[in-house]
Structure 1
Amino acid sequence: MSEVKLAVQTRTEFGKGAARRIRRENKVPGVVYGHGTEPVHVTLPGHDLLLALRTPNVLLSLDVDGKSELAIPKAVQRDAIKGYLVHVDLLLVKRGEKVNVEIPVHTEGELAPGAYLLEHVLSTLTVEAEATHIPESVTVSIEGLEAGASILAKDIPLPKGTSLAIDEDAVVLQVLAAQAEEAPAEAQEETTEA
């Protein structure tokens, strides 16, 4: 798991106007909270944060007024049209502490020959892992699966030190038989008459 260092500044201005001024300076307003402490409103470097958030569940080493803190992204708000960062919520963590996070589910292999569809019922899996050892993703083999087959959360191999934080019988992937559309009855009669 990667750890990214960011120098952040505390802020005292709040509201839309202040947030817009911060964004014009290519920075992102945010809040850091956790461990029973008062929330700290901060300003983060926009480009560095954007690059860091490309890694799922990245561990951020924050330098807040000379004090070093570890945090993970809890909520990230983006502009709906342009995609730039609007606001970020960061959760304080400690080394060795367990946290619940969502990790992406990837597949490998090919389904059995035939017209089958793979449905991702859950695209992410909620797991409990140590804050400094959060897996980036899990990979599931779908090799040779046929229609009607499903993969449950308990069937997915998890990295050492990671456990499920959802119902183990939750369906993550399922294989469906592709259904061909039937031609309307009138159209079939016309083709037989012709």
Structure 2
Amino acid sequence: MISSDSWLGALLEFWDEIVHGDKVPRLVKILLAAALLGATVWSGYVFKELTELAKPQIPPEVKPSPKVAEEAKRLDQVVGKFRATVQARGGSTELSVLASTISRKPFVPPPPPELQEGVSVTLAKEVTPPLIIVRAIIVNEPDSVALLDVDGLSDGLVVKKGASFGDGQGRIVAISAEKVVFTWAGQVYEASIEM
């Protein structure tokens, strides 16, 4: 037997008093039963509504008006033009292949309009500097010296600031601990020391 000193015993004693006891009037018992029955009916109604909401509902199909169809066609054309533009700008090789097949050079600037056929034009010759390899640098504040290998001209060339090489086309401008600065045909270049 469960004693009334525990929670379970107190709960069972309270339930027994409600059901069989004389302290609770009959009207309270009827109201409790009606509330229990009403709560059961309400729970069933809420469950039914919840299952109705869970069912997928298919909306009725609406036929588009002619204006909507025209607008959709126009927007499809705009989208097609946009996609073509994106493809052309996004590295598409089709345009370059097309330009090369019709003997065009897309990356060469066009000639000036004053040039006409039959008129000969001499183009300026582009002068590229020789390959210079710096073998050694001796830094002494008033007179710094560098040992250079100049491709096609000489190997083991010892130079200091102001020295010229390559038939006067090249001239040493500065010598520092990291690099040699020189000019070749009016352009300034740098050669770093090889480690």
State the TM-score, normalized to the length of structure 1. Answer: 0.24
Answer 1 or 2: higher relative contact order, Cα 8 Å, separation at least 6.
1
**Whose radius of gyration is greater, 1 or 2?**
2
Between Structure 1 and Structure 2, the one with more strand by share is 1
State the TM-score, normalized to the length of structure 2. Answer: 0.24
